[in-house]
Amino acid sequence: MLQPRIPVNPLPTGIVTPLLQPTAPTTAVEPTPGGHAPAPAPVPVTSPRTTVQLTSGRALALAAGGGAVVLVVGAVLVSMLLAVAITGVSVSVCAVVLKSLMNQERKH
């Protein structure tokens, strides 16, 4: 499921290159003197996935790493929100000061 699939693309010459499929190795079977060939031995099927052994130490390290990531991302988001809030307050203070200066000029 997670292995990449290479599409079959026609070449400019019109020759289509087929997708290579992995095949199981075959073994040669010699007939016995009775004339019957023995049944071939079953080929063990191996899974393309590798199993991950999750021990208690690895689980603890994974949980600690996840917690650290959550804390770092949270700190970054809070600092960005704080920066936006400070910028908004400073812009509003500048607007109030400019409005006050404009009103003083009208009165004088």
pLDDT at site 107: 76
Rank 13-17, 43-47, 104-108 by mean pLDDT and report only the highest.
104-108
Higher pLDDT, 30 or 55: 55
Contact 37, 31 (CB under 8 A): yes
How far apart CA 33 and CA 46 sit, in angstroms, is: 34
Higher pLDDT, 17 or 57: 57
In whole angstroms, how far apart are CA 7 and each of 12, 27, 48, 52, 64?
A: 15, 31, 20, 30, 41
Confidence of residue 100 (pLDDT cuts 50, 70, 90): very high
pLDDT in tens, 71-89: 999 999 999 999 999 999 9
Kindly report the three-state secondary structure assignment for every residue of the chain: CCCCCCCCCECCCCCECCCCCCCCCCCCCCCCCCCCCCCCCCCCCCCCCCCCCCCHHHHHHHHHHHHHHHHHHHHHHHHHHHHHHHHHHHHHHHHHHHHHHHHHHHHC
pLDDT at site 23: 66
Task: Write down the mean pLDDT value for the chain.
Answer: 79
pLDDT at site 2: 74
